């Protein structure tokens, strides 16, 4: 799904003109969505497993950097000698799980792009039923479950929840789906969290300050310099402009840029169009790691990848929050 432009009202002045009419049309649907969400929370009986469950979630739809954050936290827990693995829903994949992702055997059509990306650097599992997935991971010897997304899924009890917020676009127009990008009201989402991870540059949102929860700072950082020469960039992620900004900041010479919807499955027609832009500008194609796994396999070698990672300002502050959970784990 590509985010409607009016969700950014308050950030994009051109979006304000349509907001009053769209708000009136979509308000009843937002009420219905919120009623259903509150009912689901109230009726849920979360299942608990004996290993720590750490949720990396958010209150908006996509674009905050949850997956790189999950990867970074998994690496930090692994550094303590604890076998940590991520658990994703497997969005866009056909496998229901629970299963451990094998990059040599699975494609994004099997397990989704995020899980496949996470499996490239560590242990990753998928399961549409999060509770079943956590139980399977525990039985397999996983010492800590990192729930990639799932803050709004009450089926599995969480021991610690981080809410990831994009400092550059915290809450869009401030409305709940489908009138805005919020999965739930900001106040309720932060009330159920234990800490906030603020990604990128920008002030701490007032709602985060008012929540009284610890705020950790992190940023997305390129793992290397941008490739030299003219580039045609494309991305189908929550906020493609973040990818473009990182590429430019690393010295990328971007001649053209094409945004796609989040999780867009690339086709031969898409690649033909992108190739035509590259030929016009005598440029090479470049995209994100998450997009690269969704390209047809025979086209992947011709497209450059610009990988990024999440870096915390203070790894010690992250350790301090998670230390009580480590005591429960036998490495």
Averaged over 124-148, what is the pLDDT?
Answer: 97
Sheet holding 215-222, edge to edge: 99-100, 124-126, 84-88, 144-148, 53-57, 160-166, 195-199, 215-222, 308-312
Residues 265-302: b if buried by 16+ CB within 10 A, e if exposed: ebeeebbeebeebbeeeebbbbbbbbbbbbbeeebeee
In three-state secondary structure terms, 54 is: strand
Q: Closest by alpha carbon to 235, among 62, 80, 78? A: 62
Topology adopted by domain 53-220+311-326: Rossmann fold (3.40.50)
Spatial contact of 238 and 63, defined as CB atoms under 8 Å apart: yes
Confidence band for 61, pLDDT divided at 50, 70 and 90:
confident
Confidence band for 13, pLDDT divided at 50, 70 and 90:
very low
> Which phi and psi angles does 234 have, rounded to 5°?
-145, 150
What pLDDT sits at residue 17?
46
DSSP assignment letter at 129 = S
What pLDDT sits at residue 35?
95
Confidence band for 258, pLDDT divided at 50, 70 and 90:
very high
Asked if the peptide bond before residue 284 counts as cis, ω within 30 degrees of 0, the response is no
What pLDDT sits at residue 224?
85
Taking the whole predicted model, whether its pTM rises above 0.75 is answered as: yes
Spatial contact of 208 and 202, defined as CB atoms under 8 Å apart: no
Spatial contact of 201 and 52, defined as CB atoms under 8 Å apart: no
**Average pLDDT over all residues of the chain:** 91
Per-residue pLDDT reduced to its tens digit, 284-326:
999 999 999 999 989 999 999 999 999 999 999 999 999 888 8
What pLDDT sits at residue 63?
73
> Which phi and psi angles does 148 have, rounded to 5°?
-80, 105
Is residue 24 predicted with pLDDT exceeding 80? no
SS3 content of the chain, % helix, strand, coil (to 5): 35, 20, 40
> Which phi and psi angles does 100 have, rounded to 5°?
-85, 130
């Amino acid at each position: 799904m590509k985010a409607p432009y009016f969700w950014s009202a308050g950030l994009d002045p051109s979006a304000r003109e349509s907001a009053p009419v769209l708000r009136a049309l979509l308000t009843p649907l937002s009420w219905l969505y919120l009623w259903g969400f509150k009912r689901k929370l109230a009726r849920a009986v979360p299942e608990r497993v004996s290993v720590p469950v750490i949720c990396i979630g958010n209150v908006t739809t996509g674009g905050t950097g949850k997956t790189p954050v999950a990867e970074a936290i998994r690496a930090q827990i692994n550094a303590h000698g604890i076998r940590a693995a991520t658990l994703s829903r497997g969005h866009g994949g056909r496998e229901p799980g629970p299963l451990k992702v094998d990059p040599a055997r699975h494609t994004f059509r099997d397990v989704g792009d995020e899980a496949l990306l996470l499996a490239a650097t560590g242990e990753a599992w998928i399961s549409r039923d999060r509770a079943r997935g956590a139980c399977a991971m525990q039985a397999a010897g996983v010492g800590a479950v990192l729930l990639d997304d799932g803050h709004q899924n009450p089926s599995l009890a969480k021991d610690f929840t981080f809410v990831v917020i994009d400092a550059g676009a915290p809450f869009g127009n401030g409305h709940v789906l489908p009138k805005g990008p919020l999965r739930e009201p900001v106040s309720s989402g932060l009330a159920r969290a234990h800490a906030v991870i603020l990604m990128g540059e920008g002030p701490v949102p007032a709602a985060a300050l008012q929540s009284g929860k610890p705020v950790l700072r992190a940023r997305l950082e390129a793992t290397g310099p941008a490739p030299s020469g003219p580039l045609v960039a494309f991305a189908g992620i929550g906020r493609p402009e973040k990818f473009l900004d990182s590429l430019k900041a690393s010295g990328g010479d971007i001649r053209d840029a094409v945004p796609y919807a989040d999780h867009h499955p690339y086709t031969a027609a898409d690649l033909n169009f992108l190739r035509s832009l590259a030929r016009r500008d005598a440029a090479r194609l470049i995209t994100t790691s998450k997009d690269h796994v969704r390209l047809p396999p025979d086209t992947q070698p011709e497209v450059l990848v610009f990988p990024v990672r999440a870096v915390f300002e203070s790894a010690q502050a992250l350790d301090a929050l998670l230390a009580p959970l480590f005591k429960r784990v036998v490495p």
